C-alpha cells in the first residue's frame, strides 16, 4: 500500500515542476537548455536579459559568464553581445527593437571557458 501511495505522490510531484517549466521562466521570459545550463531570455524593446539557471531552475551567478545572442528580427539576424550586468543576469543591447518572443540562439561562455548554446524557436 505504501508503495502505491508513494507512487501517486511522486507522480504528482513529477508532473508539477515540468509543467511550470514549459510555460515560462521566473523572470517573465522563455527558458531553454544550453548544455548543462538552462537559460532564460527576456527581450524588452532593444534590451536583452539572459539569466543563467542550473538544471533545477535555480539562478546561477552571472559573473564570469560571457555570451552572444543572435536573434532573427524581421527576417534579419541581429547579433547581441552579452555581458554581466549584475550578479544575476547578462545584458546586451540590440540595434533594433526585438519582438516579444524573437527566434534565435544564445551562446554562453562559462567562467571555466566551456561553451554552451541554446536555441529559442
Partner 1 sequence: MFSHITAVLRALAVTLALLAGPAYAHEGHDHGAPPPPVSKTIAPRGEAASAAFELVAVPKDGTLILYLDRFETDEPVHGATLTIETPTGSANATAATDGSYQLPAPWLSKPGQYDLMVTVSVGSDADVLPLTLTIPDLAASNAPVQVGTAQTISATLSQAVPVVTQGIRERLARQDPVLLTVSAGSFLLGILVVLVARGRRRVPVIAVLVVTATVLLSASAFAHGDEDHGRPESKAALIPPNSPGATATTDLAQRLPDGSVFVPKPTQRLLELRTVMTAAGSYRRTIGLPGRIIANPNASGVVQSSVGGRLSPPPSGIFPRLGTPVKKSDVLAYVTPPVQRVDVSDMRQRQGELDQQIAIVQRRVERYQKLTVSGAVAQVQLEEALDELRGLRDRRSALDKLRAEPEALVAPVSGVIAEASAVAGQMANPGQMVFQIVDPKSLWVEALSFDALGSAENATARLADGRTLQLTYQGAGLADRNQAIPVQFAIAGDTSGLRVGQFVTVLAGTDTELQGLALPRAAVVRTGNGQDVVYEHTTAERFEARQVRVEPLDGNRVLIAAGVGAGKRVVTQGAELLDQVR
Q: Residue 101: CA atoms inside 13 Å, Cβ hemisphere, count?
A: 9
Distances in whole angstroms, Cα of residue 58 to Cα of each of 20, 51, 92: 13, 10, 22
Name the β-bridge partners of 81. Answer: 68
56 binds partner 1 (CB under 8 A): no
Q: Judged by CB, which is closer to partner 1: 63, or 74? A: 74
58 binds partner 1 (CB under 8 A): no
Distances in whole angstroms, Cα of residue 74 to Cα of each of 23, 29, 98: 25, 20, 9
Question: Residues 41, 43, 52, 71: which binds partner 1 (CB under 8 A)?
Answer: 71
SS (HEC) of 66-104: EEEEEEEECCEEEEEEEEECCCCEEEEECCCCCCCCCEE
Q: How far is the CB of 110 from partner 1 (least distance, A)?
A: 11
Q: Per CB under 8 A, which region of 8-16, 40-48, 58-66, 91-99 contacts partner 1?
A: 8-16
Question: Residues 2, 55, 100, 112: which binds partner 1 (CB under 8 A)?
Answer: 55
Question: Residues 2, 4, 23, 112: which binds partner 1 (CB under 8 A)?
Answer: 4
Q: Cell 524573437 appears where?
A: 102
By CB under 8 A, name the binding residues for partner 1: 1, 4-5, 7-8, 11-12, 14-15, 18-19, 21-22, 32-33, 35-36, 55, 68, 70-72, 75-77, 79, 103-105, 107, 114-119, 121
Amino acid at each position: 500500500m505504501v508503495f502505491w501511495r508513494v507512487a501517486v505522490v511522486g507522480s504528482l510531484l513529477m508532473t508539477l515542476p515540468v509543467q511550470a517549466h514549459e510555460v515560462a521562466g521566473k523572470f517573465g521570459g522563455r527558458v531553454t537548455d544550453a548544455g548543462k545550463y538552462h537559460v532564460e531570455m527576456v527581450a524588452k524593446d532593444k534590451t536583452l536579459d539572459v539569466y543563467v539557471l542550473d538544471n533545477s531552475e535555480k539562478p546561477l551567478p552571472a559573473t564570469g559568464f560571457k555570451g552572444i545572442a543572435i536573434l532573427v528580427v524581421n527576417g534579419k539576424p541581429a547579433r547581441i553581445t552579452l555581458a554581466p550586468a549584475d550578479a544575476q543576469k547578462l545584458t546586451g543591447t540590440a540595434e533594433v527593437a526585438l519582438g516579444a518572443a524573437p527566434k534565435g540562439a544564445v551562446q554562453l561562455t562559462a567562467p571555466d571557458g566551456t561553451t554552451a548554446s541554446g536555441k529559442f524557436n
